[in-house]
Amino acid sequence: MDAEEFMRGRVYGTDHDDPHPGPRAGHVYRELVGGPLDGLLLDVTGWGEERLRQGAVLATEIGAFGPGGRAAYQPRPGDAHRWDWCGDMP
């Protein structure tokens, strides 16, 4: 994904009717790859290095467990700007 495509992505957690669901200037993002949140950007602005290495478990209604479920993502080895899906959990 080139920089221009990246900047057009939708940010995880924005409302479906948000007129500006894309990235904001001055923020730092990771691209979510695979799973129910594939293609979304996660705002990691202000996260420390340790927190970034841990990845994230994110709420989603469209995963294997439906409403109340979560999807786990971890930094991709060799490309920390992309986080790969590790699976869904209740």
pTM for this model (two decimals)? 0.88
Once rounded to an integer, what is the mean pLDDT over residues 2-29? 82
Domain ranges of the chain: 3-89
Q: Which parts of the chain are beta strand (E)?
A: 29-33, 41-43, 56-60, 69-76, 79-89
Q: Which parts of 5-67 are beta strand (E)?
A: 29-33, 41-43, 56-60
pLDDT-derived band at 16 (thresholds 50, 70, 90) equals confident
Looking at every residue in the chain, the average pLDDT score rounds to: 92
Q: Which two three-digit tokens encode residue 83?
A: 């986080």
Q: Is 40 exposed, middle or buried (0-12, 13-18, 19+ CB in 10 A)?
A: buried
Q: Is the pLDDT of residue 1 over 50?
A: no
**Predicted pLDDT at 8:** 67
Tens-digit pLDDT profile for residues 41-69: 999 999 999 999 999 999 999 999 999 99
Spell out the residues 6+ positions from residue 46 whose beta carbon is closer than 8 angstroms to its own.
none
